[in-house]
Amino acid sequence: MAPVYKVSYVVAGEEHPGAILNADQPPRVGDQVRLGSREFVVLEVVDLLPARGDFRFLHATLRPISKA
């Protein structure tokens, strides 16, 4: 099975609860991601935990680029 990327997203610079999501592709710096109704740009991606089985565990920091 292709890897599953379990990502912890945190939004910098505002009161946002962040999000956890399984993705088919890892986020990369500069990517735009949509969480709910809002869009963000990825500022940083780091490994949060060692991989286990088919799962990769990442942490990404985001910056908002639009408001709902």
Partner 1 sequence: MDLLPLLQKVELFDGLSPDELQAVADLCSEQILHAGDTVTRQGEAGNEMYVICEGWVEVIPNPPPGGAGPRAVVNLGRGQLIGEMTLVDYGPRSASVRAISEPTVLQAIDRDRFTELCEHDFRLGYLVMRNMAADLSFKLRHRNLTGR
Binding residues vs partner 1 (CB under 8 A): 1, 4, 6, 8, 10, 15, 17-23, 35-37, 48-49, 52-55, 57, 59
Q: How far is the CB of 30 from partner 1 (least distance, A)?
A: 21
Closest to partner 1 by CB, 23 vs 41, is 23
What is the token pair recorded at 23? 């993705």
Long-range Cβ contacts of 20-26 (<8 Å, 24+ apart): 26/56, 26/58
Closest to partner 1 by CB, 30 vs 36, is 36
